[in-house]
Copies of this chain bind each other. A is one copy, B any other.
Amino acid sequence: MPTVKMVEYADASPEVKAVYDDIMATRKTNTINNFWKTIAVHPPTLARTWRDLKEVMAPGALDPLVKEMIAVAVSATNGCAYCVNSHTAAAMQKGMTKEMLGELLAVVGMFNTTNRLVEGYQVEPDVFPPLE
């Protein structure tokens, strides 16, 4: 039950259309996901989120597929259904196999267990030097 009505391309302001056009050009696709059509109800949030996403997901020290799998890990940990779906689809497009997804979710599950054991026992910190 969406909270707001999505902004379709035909009804969009020039400012929103410009972002939609950039999304489609960058992703080489003709469709805009519901996420973008929804946050477009607040154009500054649409523009900022797309600008940030392009910047954060750009090639860098980490592989784009690794970044997308981290997005799946975060979304599964937060329990965000839409997010898990869309990031899993994106990771598949970037080459994630069923075996890789299996290991990814096994790791996510594993460390959710150890996180709770740590919290439940209030484990004392080991001492590591900070990363210079």
Contacts and interface: CB of A to CB of B under 8 A. Distances in A.
This protein's copies in its complex: 6
A122 B81 contact: yes
A116 B120 contact: no
Contacts of A60: 99, 103
B70 A112 contact: no
Nearest to A100: B61
A102 B44 CA distance: 9
Contacts of A86: 126, 128
A116 B123 contact: no
Contact of A113 (B70, B101, B109): B109
A52 B52 contact: yes
A103 B52 contact: no
